[in-house]
Amino acid sequence: MSVERRPPCLPSQEPDLVDRIADLKRARNAVILAHNYQLPEVQDIADFTGDSLELSRKAAGAEADVIVFCGVRFMAETAKILSPNRVVLLPDPRAGCPLADMITADQLRAFKAQHPGLPVVAYVNTSAEVKAESDICCTSANAVRMVEAMDSDSVLFIPDKCLGTYVASKTSKRIILYPGYCPTHHRILVEDVVREKQEHPEAVVVAHPECTMDVIELADAVESTSGMLRYTRGSDAKEFIICTERGLLHRLRKDNPAKVFYNPCRLNICPNMKKITLEKVFWSLEDMRPTIEIAPDVIERAKKAIDGMLAV
Ligand code: CIZ
């Protein structure tokens, strides 16, 4: 799908852009969701900010006809799976997730054929079609629990080999990894964390499980983005080194004005997350596109994998 773009009539400096989005949102009866990795100004206009599953569940419970998902494609697809009768807009259709794109439904079928009979645990960072081919979904927060819930000593874990390696260190089950990874988390290096820790020896290191295992081993806590929000709020520590996509720092700083958050490197920016801008949010509400469309049978099968996770 390609976006046909009109000349930008509303540059972001224009003061009433935020008001115009709010007016349009009311007129469309829309809810705006922003993932924790979105640009600060996009997070600030959202009705809800959070991780992808949390947002999709909030949208499903909201009385809105339209869901604007400021995030990447698999996240907007999850919202559509949970709210199939609503219009779901992804303000930039090119906002994909390189990790999710590392496995297609065909590649998963081939992986399953190499390991017949083993259940598939799919991280939420997968397309609807891949979820539809999986036995159960997991988030980074509940991956260990989902693996342990499988009625098998061995499981196929897709697509993130880093999260899978971390899970393997926490369970006695045999995890067969798929070789996917998140390029943004891979750019956070051990040297970055060591240097930051030398500069701020009191700081607590919190790492996302999409980081490489050598970074995870340096961490005081390993958390999903929502877990990081809870952990830092509840901690007595005053300084934190946050090893994940840097968009989360905006919310961490807003929620904890008396605490200090350090970003360990300059390269931990997801270019896809940053494709969503205020202008694109406005345009998507104005034009009511680009919409997320998923075949009904794919929605039904993908929902089973998500519902399986929610049941556990
Ligand atoms: O599902 C999400 O939101 C992702 C990808 C990460 C997280 O930890 O929130």
Q: Which helix (H) or strand (E) holds 38?
A: none
Quick one: pLDDT band at residue 213, thresholds 50, 70, 90? very high
What superfamily does domain 100-182 belong to in CATH? NadA-like (3.40.50.10800)
Query: 3-96+272-293 and 100-182 share one CATH topology?
Result: yes
Torsion of CA 237, 243, 247, 249, to 10 degrees: 10
> Which of 86, 111, 60 is closest to 294 using CA atoms?
86
Given a contact cutoff of 8 angstroms between Cβ atoms, the answer to whether 133 and 109 are in contact is yes
SS3 at position 208: coil
Percentage above 90 pLDDT, the chain: 95
Helix axes 248-255, 225-234, angle to 10 degrees: 20
Which residues have a Cβ under 8 Å from the Cβ of 282 and sit 6 or more positions away?
10, 17, 20, 21, 24
Atom from ligand 1 closest to the CA of residue 140? 8
pLDDT exceeds 70 at position 3: no
C-alpha of residue 227 to centroid of ligand 1, in Å? 10
C-alpha of residue 260 to centroid of ligand 1, in Å? 22
What pLDDT does residue 8 have? 46
CA distances from 247 to 36, 51, 89, 243 (A): 6, 12, 21, 11
Quick one: pLDDT band at residue 13, thresholds 50, 70, 90? low
Asked: is 188-262 a CATH 3.40.50.10800 domain? The reply is: yes
pLDDT in tens, 250-303: 999 999 999 999 999 999 999 999 999 999 999 999 999 999 999 999 999 999
pLDDT exceeds 80 at position 168: yes
Architecture of the 3-96+272-293 domain: 3-Layer(aba) Sandwich (3.40)
**CA angle (80, 81, 86) in 5-degree steps:** 40
Quick one: pLDDT band at residue 14, thresholds 50, 70, 90? low
What pLDDT does residue 6 have? 42
What pLDDT does residue 46 have? 98
State the residue for tokens 């960072």.
125
What pLDDT does residue 44 have? 97
Atom from ligand 1 closest to the CA of residue 139? 1
Q: Which helix (H) or strand (E) holds 48?
A: strand 48-50
Per the structure block, which two tokens stand in for 287? 């034009």
Nearest alpha carbon, ligand 1 atom 8: 224
Per the structure block, which two tokens stand in for 240? 């934190």
> Which of 172, 126, 145 is closest to 311 using CA atoms?
145
Quick one: pLDDT band at residue 9, thresholds 50, 70, 90? very low
pLDDT exceeds 90 at position 150: yes
| Mean pLDDT value across residues 208-225 | 98
| Mean pLDDT value across residues 198-207 | 98
Per the structure block, which two tokens stand in for 213? 């295992």
State the Cα–Cα distance between residues 253 and 237, nearest whole angstrom: 14
The neighbour count for residue 30, using CB atoms within 10 Å, is 25
State the Cα–Cα distance between residues 303 and 137, nearest whole angstrom: 9
pLDDT in tens, 52-100: 999 999 999 999 999 999 999 999 999 999 999 999 999 999 999 999 9
State the Cα–Cα distance between residues 184 and 225, nearest whole angstrom: 14
Quick one: pLDDT band at residue 2, thresholds 50, 70, 90? very low
C-alpha of residue 225 to centroid of ligand 1, in Å? 6
Q: Which residues does a 6 A CB cutoff place in the pocket of ligand 1?
A: 35-36, 51-53, 124-125, 139-140, 208, 224-226
pLDDT exceeds 70 at position 12: no
Nearest alpha carbon, ligand 1 atom 1: 52
C-alpha of residue 8 to centroid of ligand 1, in Å? 31
> Which of 207, 183, 205, 184 is closest to 196 using CA atoms?
205
What pLDDT does residue 15 have? 62
The neighbour count for residue 259, using CB atoms within 10 Å, is 15
pLDDT exceeds 50 at position 10: no
Peptide bond into 11 cis (omega under 30): no
Atom from ligand 1 closest to the CA of residue 51? 3
- 4-8, 165-169, 203-207: which range is least confident on average? 4-8
What pLDDT does residue 48 have? 97
Given a contact cutoff of 8 angstroms between Cβ atoms, the answer to whether 173 and 154 are in contact is yes
Q: Where are the domains of the chain?
A: 3-96+272-293, 100-182, 188-262
Atom from ligand 1 closest to the CA of residue 141? 8
Atom from ligand 1 closest to the CA of residue 224? 8
Backbone Cα Rg of the chain: 19
